[in-house]
């Protein structure tokens, strides 16, 4: 269970970092930060957030389309969104776990729920963070996450993505 709680801490730190980058304070309503002293250091690394942020920029149009589709299907509460996020995991990891797929999954689920955060309440975002932590936990339990280097492997893949994609603002400045 420690892995799941540390994953939750990781996702909460990821979201907090991403929202802080745009000047929006965010804390999970039902988060695990109150237990941080028992959980130890978060596996979060800012390079992972930068990779997720850059991928979100690249796939911004697709995220908006997904959001519109979900609204059209009436998905406006955390239970319905959680079900969607779990179904999305099945599609995203149909060929097995890779760190690249996990980062893409974060972009899809956290990106779409981030749009929900602005439109409704953070309940959907809190739920999304818990589902992402659970999905990662399932890949830790099968060993797939660790066979690819665990947290250091994820950080290295994120670093490669971060190095290969410029921020859109940097492109606009040129």
Q: Does residue 109 surpass a pLDDT of 50?
A: yes
Phi-psi region of 40 (alpha: psi -120 to 50; beta: other; left: phi over 0): left
Q: Which of 31-40, 147-156, 165-174 has the highest mean pLDDT?
A: 147-156
Q: Does residue 116 surpass a pLDDT of 70?
A: no
Total-model pTM: 0.90
Q: How far apart are CA 40 and CA 143, in angstroms?
A: 22
Cβ atoms < 10 Å from Cβ of 114: 24
pLDDT range class, residue 71, cuts 50, 70, 90: confident
What the block records as the tokens of 120 is 């409704």
Nearest partner of 165 among 103, 114, 118, judged by Cα: 103
pLDDT tens digits, one per residue of 11-41:
999 999 999 998 888 888 877 866 766 777 8
Say what the pLDDT of residue 173 is: 47
Q: Alpha carbon 135 to chain centroid distance?
A: 11
- Percent of the chain predicted with pLDDT > 90: 67
Q: Does residue 104 surpass a pLDDT of 50?
A: yes
Strand runs labelled E in the chain: none
Return mean pLDDT, the chain. 89
């Amino acid at each position: 269970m420690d892995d799941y709680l540390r994953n939750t801490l990781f996702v909460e730190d990821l979201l907090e970092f991403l929202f802080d980058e745009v000047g929006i304070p965010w804390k999970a309503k039902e988060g695990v930060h109150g237990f941080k002293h028992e959980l130890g250091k978060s596996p979060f690394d800012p390079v992972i957030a930068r990779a997720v942020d850059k991928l979100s920029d690249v796939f911004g149009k697709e995220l908006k389309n997904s959001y519109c589709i979900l609204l059209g299907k009436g998905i406006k509460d955390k239970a319905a969104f959680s079900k969607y996020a779990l179904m999305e995991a099945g599609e995203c990891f149909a060929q097995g776990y890779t760190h690249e797929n996990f980062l893409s999954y974060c972009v899809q689920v956290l990106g779409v729920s981030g749009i929900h955060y602005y439109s409704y309440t953070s309940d959907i975002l809190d739920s999304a963070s818990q589902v992402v932590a659970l999905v990662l936990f399932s890949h830790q339990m099968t060993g797939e996450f660790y066979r690819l280097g665990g947290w250091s492997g994820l950080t290295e893949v994120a670093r490669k993505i971060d190095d290969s994609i410029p921020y859109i603002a940097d492109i606009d400045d040129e």
